[in-house]
Amino acid sequence: MSLEKNKAVVRREVDFWNGHDADKAGEVYAADYVGHEPGGFHDGTLEQVTESARAIFVAFPDMHLTADFIIAEGDMVVKRWTVHGTHKGELMGIPPTGKKIVVTGCNVFRIVGDKIAECWASTDMLGMLQQLGVIPQMGG
């Protein structure tokens, strides 16, 4: 596939997250998807990403993801992103706080055909947990 087509796959992934319909994960992620983000939302299989999406959509019903930039090289696409949302549902055992969050991250996707086959993800989980008040802010 061309670089532009690979970038279009990642733009569809952004639309998936902003569409808040976890059942559509298979339209973007391959059936044999492998995610690499220990303790994160993109770790594991297609089924695990689908379950993570369900949890995120409940926890942050107003969640909106923006692709800050998308860069492609061969079958790899990098997306730097920012997400905004309000914590209105339980997430990872954390009861709703009503707090607004802004979280950033970076994903490196491997595209096969017209789907995401693999992802290496880095999400600012510490920052998110600090914004939710679960972990104290650092500094002095």
Nearest of 39, 37, 56 to residue 118 by alpha carbon: 37
11-64 residue pLDDT tens: 999 999 999 999 999 999 999 999 999 877 777 999 999 999 999 999 999 999
pLDDT at 42: 76
Q: Does domain 3-131 have CATH number 1.10.1270.20?
A: no
Report d(CA 86, CA 100) in Å as an integer. Answer: 4
Instruction: Tell me the CA distances in angstroms from 74 to 6, 32, 40, 52, 100, one per residue in order.
Output: 9, 20, 26, 28, 37
What are the structural domain ranges in the chain? 3-131
Whose structure tokens read 């995401």? 116
Q: What is this structure's pTM?
A: 0.93
pLDDT category of residue 139 using cuts at 50, 70 and 90:
confident
